[in-house]
Amino acid sequence: MSAQAQKPTEQKLKPKLFSVMKNYSKEQLVKDVTAGIIVAIIALPLSIALALASGVGPEQGLYTAIVAGFIVSFLGGSRVQIAGPTAAFATIVAGIVASQGMDGLIISTVMAGIIMVIMGLCRFGALIKYIPGTITSGFTFGIAVTILLGQIKDFFGLTFKNSPIETVDKVKEIVSCFGTLNPQALLVGVVSLAILILWPKKLEKIPASLIAVIVGSVMVGAFKMNVNTIGSLYNVSKELPHFTVPNITFERVRALVPNAFTIAILAAVESLLSCVVADGMIGSKHRSNMELVAQGVANIGSAFFGGIPATGAIARTAANVKNGGRTPIAGMVHSVVVLIILCLLMDKASLIPMPTIAAILFVVAYNMCGWRNIRNTIKTAPKSDIAVLFVTLIFTVIFDLVVAIGVGMVMASLLFMKRMADVTEAHAWVDVDDEDTDPDNILLKKIPQNTRVFEINGPMFFAAADKYRYMLSDKNIDVLCIRMRNVPAIDAAGVEALMGIVKRCERHNVKVVFSHVNEQPMHAMEKAGFIEHVGKENFCDHIDTALLRCEEIESKLRSA
């Protein structure tokens, strides 16, 4: 097999669209178009609501779904990713708009896009593999809970006194305003939800979401029901996205660099995690580096055409998958449909009842929550993994995705280091003639009389540094031999610990010989001047040669 053929899929900088079109069929086109229409219907109120929560006009959310959504689908590395405005950006965008205005937001988003393009070209997309599955499961379930809680207001037709953004505040508002329940809205929501649950059991070819939208709209229109619709809640301009160039100065760019990095990191992490979730749903493999490039270009385009920061939207991506979307065509159709609705059919789209949209998102939340995976994790995983999962879940609901991932990663990293420290050990070798010899003596060698051999197993890093400080417990020896064949990696703390052992040996006139030091530890020790200090002749490639070196040192000491 050629080297090119062995190259991992995720390393290809080739849009997924160009790959899937080779075997594209009419049947899949119908599914993609249908899924794109459904996702557009779902994306419409979400994009408007998220724009308002971000402190900008409702049309900015639609511009983002149109421009960024199309570019990500066209250039992206995922088959089913749907991009657009997401809740994770609301607080960040609102802060930038409040302090720097729309020009500041455009500059920040463009710089963030450039950063993401560079990240993709530098192959940073592979870093997603270092995010544990427990974190992915935790934030996915947390997002599902957030979606569900966010739709209770519209499903029950509640009238809020305030407009909360945070999930905890939404729960408080739901409890305090539950007395405003609208029975007619609840009826529309229940009927829509029943259609979404029961329809697929009878007719799978016609999406249940589409039927629910039609039935819900007819109910509200025909019976003149007092139910909120898209048109009754939002006043959206029909103006097309137009190219906008902000007032750019060096001082402004410099001041906005931190905001740009925040947007870039958040968009990169959320989009790649969305890709991971989508991969699990369709059994595919995304191209992470290409996805980063696409997200970067999409954010640049969105900013210049009046939009706000965009990233992969997990809920809309899940809705795309559940409604049959399997290629980027669905995402492109979604953007085109949003554009058509914006320009021509806003009066018709305005008839869609909000309880129906809420019911659709209820089903999306259920489908993406992965409760079976969480159940299996609880049954089989160690307690530490379960703790990481639930901490990530809770922080996603209470705070946001960024905080949840940050806390989850720190927690998972600390637990991983503890595990590595627990398995790292340094044990002494003894001569085969010793009565206390290890039963597995076939691995033992004949050790010179005044030599002690220690073998280190596991990575030598700061969390395990105390595991091998005791090596010179016996000072009545001439040579200490340290075997490192099972040390795959070492950090600065590990090198420092070894240097401390060598210096202690020097104070007691004990020579140190190393056996089988692997490439990374050898490079780290050489860089620290360790090899020069110990002497290159005292680094042997095999235990046999190391023991011969120990015997040679003992002979010299005896003759002296």
In a domain, 89, yes or no: yes
**Residue 80 falls within a domain, yes or no?**
yes
Supply the pLDDT for residue 206. 65
Instruction: Please determine, for residue 351, whether its predicted confidence score (pLDDT) is greater than 90.
Output: no
Phi/psi of residue 480, each to 5°?
-115, 120
Torsion of CA 535, 539, 545, 548, to 10 degrees: 30
Cα 116 to Cα 217: distance, rounded to the nearest angstrom: 41
3-state secondary structure at position 513: strand
Residue 473, pLDDT score: 67
Confidence check: pLDDT of 113 > 80: yes
CB 366 within 8 A of CB 163: no
Comparing 54 with 485, the larger pLDDT belongs to 485
Give dist(CA 514, CA 524) in Å, integer: 14
Residues 311 and 1: beta-carbon distance below 8 Å: no
- 5 inside domain: no
Amino acid identity, position 86: T
- pLDDT given for residue 461 in this prediction: 76
The mean of the pLDDT values for the chain is 85
Residues 367 and 256 in one domain: yes
Number of C-beta neighbours around residue 238 at 10 A? 12
Residue 258 has a pLDDT of 85
Instruction: Examine the domain organization and report whether 406 and 432 are in the same domain.
Output: no
Q: How many CA atoms lie within 13 A of 209 on its CB side?
A: 24
Res 5 pLDDT > 70: no
- Residue of 262 and 160 predicted with greater confidence: 160
430 and 511, same domain (yes or no): yes
> How many alpha carbons fall within 13 Å on the CB side of residue 117?
14
If you ran DSSP here, which 8-state letter would residue 463 be given? G
Backbone angles phi, psi at 370, to 5 degrees: 65, 45
Which helix (H) or strand (E) element contains residue 456?
Answer: strand 451-457
3-state helix, strand, coil in the chain (%, to 5): 70, 5, 25
Average of per-residue pLDDT across 64-69: 97
Cα 489 to Cα 459: distance, rounded to the nearest angstrom: 5
Who contacts 558 (Cβ-Cβ below 8 Å, separation ≥6)? none
Note whether 438 and 466 are same-domain residues.
Answer: yes
Looking at the fold, whether 382 and 461 belong to one and the same domain comes out as: no
For the chain, how many residues are written?
Answer: 560
pLDDT at 543 over 90: no
Number of continuous H segments (helices) and E segments (strands) in the chain:
23, 7
- Nearest residue to 112 via CA among 91, 93, 127, 131: 93
Residue type (1 letter), 181: L
3-state secondary structure of 482: strand
| CATH code of the domain covering residue 554 | 3.30.750.24
Residue 64's pLDDT is: 97
Nearest to 306 by CA among 62, 36, 80: 62
281 shares a domain with 389: yes
In this structure, is residue 419 part of a structural domain? no
How far apart, in whole angstroms, are the C-alpha atoms of residue 347 and residue 343? 10
Q: Cα–Cα distances in Å, from 352 out to 44, 70, 154, 457?
A: 11, 24, 12, 64
Give the residue carrying structure tokens 């119908």. 30
Higher pLDDT, 463 or 373: 373
**For residue 427, what pLDDT is reported?**
64
> What pLDDT was estimated at residue 34?
92
Instruction: Indicate whether 429 and 398 sit together in one domain.
Output: no
Where does a domain end: 378, 413, 448? Answer: 413
Order of all β-strands in the sheet with 425-429:
425-429, 451-457, 479-486, 511-515, 539-540
- Residue 348 pLDDT greater than 90, yes or no: no
Instruction: Decide if pLDDT at 118 tops 70.
Output: yes
Q: Tell me if 154 sits within 8 A of 185, measured CB to CB.
A: yes
Residue 425, SS3 per DSSP: strand
67 three-state secondary structure: helix
- Residue 426: band (very low, low, confident or very high) from pLDDT cuts 50, 70, 90: low
One-letter amino acid of 99: S
Residue 289 has pLDDT above 50, yes or no: yes
Are residues 431 and 531 both part of a single domain? yes
Range of the domain at 326: 25-152+166-233+252-413
pLDDT band at 402 (very low <50, low <70, confident <90, very high): low
Q: Same domain for 73 and 185?
A: yes
Q: How far apart are CA 539 and CA 545, in angstroms?
A: 9
What 3-state DSSP class applies to 60?
helix
Q: Report pLDDT for 401.
A: 65
Q: What is the pLDDT of residue 156?
A: 95
Are residues 327 and 459 both part of a single domain?
A: no
For the ranges 78-82, 276-280, 403-407, the one whose mean pLDDT is highest: 78-82
Bridge partners, 514 (sequence order)? 482, 539
Per-residue pLDDT tens over the stretch 197-254: 888 777 765 667 778 888 999 999 999 999 998 778 777 677 888 898 998 899 999 9
pLDDT classification of 111: cutoffs 50, 70, 90 = very high
Residue 523: inside a domain, yes or no? Answer: yes
pLDDT at residue 315, rounded to an integer:
79
Query: Do 439 and 402 share a structural domain?
Result: no
Convert the pLDDT of each residue in 509-528 to its tens digit: 999 999 999 999 999 999 88
Q: What is the pLDDT of residues 179-193, one digit of tens each?
A: 999 999 999 999 999
Q: Is the pLDDT of residue 2 over 50?
A: no
Kindly list the distances between the CA atom of residue 192 and the CA atoms of 176, 198, 263, 268, 370, in Å, as whole numbers in the listed order: 26, 10, 36, 35, 23
Average pLDDT over residues 108-119: 96
Q: What is the CA radius of gyration of the chain?
A: 30
The pLDDT of 286-309, averaged and rounded, is 96
Contact between residue 274 and residue 312 where contact means Cβ atoms under 8 Å apart: yes
Asked whether residue 9 is assigned to any structural domain, the reply reads: no
Crossing angle of helices 208-222 and 183-202, in 10° steps, is 150
Last residue of a domain, one of 366, 390, 413: 413
- pLDDT confidence of 91, banded at 50, 70, 90? low
Mean pLDDT value of segment 53-67: 86
Q: What is the pLDDT of residue 9?
A: 42
Q: Do 345 and 207 sit in the same domain of this protein?
A: yes
- Asked whether residue 18 is assigned to any structural domain, the reply reads no
pLDDT of 434: 46
Q: What is the DSSP string of 362-399?
A: HHHHHHHH-HHHHHHHHHHS-HHHHHHHHHHHHHHHHS
Neighbouring C-beta atoms of residue 368, cutoff 10 Å: 23
Residue 491 lies in a domain: yes
Nearest-CA neighbor of 189 among 365, 353, 315, 350? 353
More confident residue, 135 or 421: 135
User: Does the pLDDT value for residue 445 go beyond 60?
Assistant: yes
Last residue of a domain, one of 413, 445, 474: 413
* Alpha helices, DSSP H, located in 54-132: 58-75, 90-121
Which residues, 6+ apart, have CB-to-CB distance to 486 below 8 Å? 455, 456, 457, 458
pLDDT digits (tens, 9 = 90+) for 374-385: 888 888 778 888
Strands 451-457 and 479-486: parallel
Query: In terms of pLDDT, which residue wins out, 512 or 258?
Result: 512
* pLDDT for residue 147 is more than 90: no
Amino acid identity, position 451: T
Number of domains present in the structure of the chain? 2
- Whether residue 463 has pLDDT greater than 60: yes
CA pair distance 368, 355, nearest whole angstrom: 20
Return d(Cα 361, Cα 155) in angstroms, integer.
10
